[in-house]
Amino acid sequence: MRYNSKFDFVKSSKPFIIFSILITVLGIGALIFAGFNYGVDFRAGSNVDIVLSKPVANEEINKFLTEKNVGHYTMTTGTDRVSLRFDDILTDVQEKELKAGFTEKLDPNASMEVNTVDVQMARELQFNALLALSLASLGILIYISFRFEWRFALAAIIALVHDAFIVISIFSIFRLEVNLTFIVAVLTIIGYSINDTIVIFDRIRENLRFAKIKSPVDLAILVNRSIWETLTRSINTVVTVVFGALALYIFGSESIRLFSLAILIGLVAGAYSSIFIASPIWLALRSKAKPKSAPKTPATTS
């Protein structure tokens, strides 16, 4: 077989699985001890994003805000951009004063984006986000069980949760802001991740049809061959989607920068997990079930 001389994905999957488990554990730890750096969508409060037309000193903004008496806030500044996050909700009157005052005193051509989310709404958004994640996973699980078999479904779901977790861990560890778009990103990642996994599984399924599997070793060779056969596709697809996501991340609007970052991480994780997580897990599940399914594949002597 021409695949024998190449890299054996199945045999070398152990360190990768350990690596993935470590990241997941690290992520769970970060989530438990530090949680997320929630944006206003999930925490209530107001977020003000200002595009400046000229440099304005931080002290001036601080002074201006203290005068307005708007409560506690955190400020992050970039080039020609200021982002303010208020713990308390800005009333529409405060918002109006802030906008008017800012353009009057600090920068007449400033353009702003203001987001305000009420506490109840924030809780609701959070609940909906979790609901969407679980429902999507469930739907995919049912579909794959129906189209393939439950082992494929289980392995795919583990890979999918893994991908979501890598993104979640990175966002938690690096204290990146989590907003509604983050959830959208995670759901998109789930879609892509499953897409990647399905292509490999589809090949395994196809190869199984013509293969004579006598031992777990045969099965491992088959999985490895299937990964190799789809490898060009896996790499090329990731490359094309990464082009889009990377362009969005570097040149896209500030408001979707973190969204693009989440997608970018997730895409790479998705391609990785399809090969190093999903396929070995399916193999492990299937190898254990071997005695049961043995009679099904007629052991013809060739």
Task: Summarize as ranges the residues that interact with another protein (CB under 8 A).
Answer: 49, 51, 92, 95-96, 99-100, 109-118, 120-121, 128, 131-132, 135-136, 139-140, 143-144, 147, 180-181, 183-184, 187-188, 190-192, 194-195, 198-199, 202-203, 206, 229-230, 232-233, 236-237, 239-241, 243-248, 250-256, 259-260, 263
CA distance 157 to 140: 8
Q: Which is nearer to another protein, 4 or 232 (CB)?
A: 232
Q: Which is nearer to another protein, 19 or 146 (CB)?
A: 146
- State which amino acid sits at residue 101: G
Structure tokens at 189: 């990642």
Residue 55's SS3 state is: coil
Q: Which long-range contacts (CB under 8 A, 24 or more apart) does 122-126 make?
A: 122/40, 122/41, 122/42, 122/43, 122/44, 125/41, 125/42, 125/180, 126/42
Q: Which is nearer to another protein, 138 or 294 (CB)?
A: 138
Taking the complex as a whole, the smallest distance from the CB of residue 166 to another protein amounts, in Å, to 17
Taking the complex as a whole, the smallest distance from the CB of residue 174 to another protein amounts, in Å, to 21
Ramachandran category for residue 175: left, alpha or beta (phi over 0 → left; psi -120 to 50 → alpha)? left
Taking the complex as a whole, the smallest distance from the CB of residue 42 to another protein amounts, in Å, to 12
User: Residues with Cβ < 8 Å from 267, sequence gap 6 or more?
Assistant: 189, 192, 238, 241, 242, 245
Return the axis-axis angle of helices 13-33 and 279-288, rounded to nearest 10°. Answer: 110
Taking the complex as a whole, the smallest distance from the CB of residue 31 to another protein amounts, in Å, to 22
Is 68 buried (19+), middle (13-18) or exposed (0-12) by CB count in 10 A?
Answer: middle
Q: Which is nearer to another protein, 187 or 211 (CB)?
A: 187
Taking the complex as a whole, the smallest distance from the CB of residue 168 to another protein amounts, in Å, to 17
Taking the complex as a whole, the smallest distance from the CB of residue 19 to another protein amounts, in Å, to 26
Structure tokens at 29: 């730890």
CA distance 101 to 1: 74
Q: What is the DSSP string of 60-125?
A: HHHHHHHHHT---EEEEEETTEEEEEESSPPPHHHHHHHHHHHHHHT-TT-EEEEEEE-HHHHHHH
Q: Which is nearer to another protein, 12 or 236 (CB)?
A: 236
Q: Which is nearer to another protein, 13 or 230 (CB)?
A: 230
Taking the complex as a whole, the smallest distance from the CB of residue 294 to another protein amounts, in Å, to 27
Q: Which is nearer to another protein, 172 or 226 (CB)?
A: 226
Taking the complex as a whole, the smallest distance from the CB of residue 7 to another protein amounts, in Å, to 18
- State which amino acid sits at residue 281: I
Q: Which is nearer to another protein, 124 or 218 (CB)?
A: 124
